[in-house]
Amino acid sequence: MKFYIFLGILALLLFACAGEETLGSDNTPPQQPVMVPHLGDSGDLHGENIINYCNNVGYENNGIDAVPENDWIKIQWETFTDDDIDYLQIYRFNLQENEAVKIDSVTYSTQNYYFDQFANYDPSINKKWFYYIKVYDTSGNFSISDTTCYKLLQEPELLAPSNGYYYTAGDELYFQWNENAEVIEYRLLVFDGNYNLLWAFQPTDHPGGANYEVLYEGPELTSNIIYWRVDAFGNTLDEEVNGTQYTIHSGSESQVYTIRITEQ
């Protein structure tokens, strides 16, 4: 009889210890993630104070934005302060459908951006896109970020010089691209071989349905290779969604073309 009482007490002690361990487990969610809104664009300031977000090819550290690769949107969030992040889920919605959809689940915890390539979704342009993320730690706790937004426009079509064009140093150099009625402002960007911004120019005259043509008037071209692209900007919109006011920037970026420079 004493033996069975001993077993019962032992079982109760083991159960109590297990309960204490459960109560002591991590049940604190991660700090709320913070999405980075659209902070600006390359060439926002002129002269010696030009801002260049493009010092890395294919990535701009300026919050949510269009990207030159295609009709994609890059979203960005502030670096997580927790050291036990396991994975995060990315959600988006637009005002036409107004239903949040999980578009991806990613395991990295140190990278602070993501390219939405709109897989199996067409078209992505001319819609107001909203994004938020849900972050999980290794104990299964989660936090939901705030929401950020952007509207994609049709990207400019570069007409000349063609990609890979050989330019003779000292000659005049003209850049041409098409016009889009939804765009209120274009910005021509020329980069050196290290992708540092050499020259930014915004035409003030609209060709009225014709193509844009701009003569290069920047610094002397001394590197063997330069890159160029054209950014397009639309109206900035204010929209209230579920009681929250959002400022929606709109725009697009052309592909990046290469120009190779030869001596006379």
Rounded Cα distance, 80 and 167, in Å: 46
222 band by pLDDT with thresholds 50, 70 and 90: confident
**pLDDT tens digit string along 200-219?**
999 988 777 789 999 999 99
Pairing outcome for strands 185-191 and 101-106: unpaired
Domains recognised in the chain with CATH numbers? 47-152 (2.60.40.10), 158-262 (2.60.40.1220)
pLDDT at 225: 96
Q: Give percent of the chain with pLDDT exceeding 70.
A: 90
Alpha-carbon dihedral angle through residues 195, 197, 199, 205, given to the nearest 10 degrees: 100
Strand, helix or coil for residue 2: helix
- 27-54 average pLDDT score: 91
Closest CA to 113 of 68, 146, 70, 65: 65
Rounded Cα distance, 252 and 129, in Å: 13
28 band by pLDDT with thresholds 50, 70 and 90: very high
pTM value is 0.86
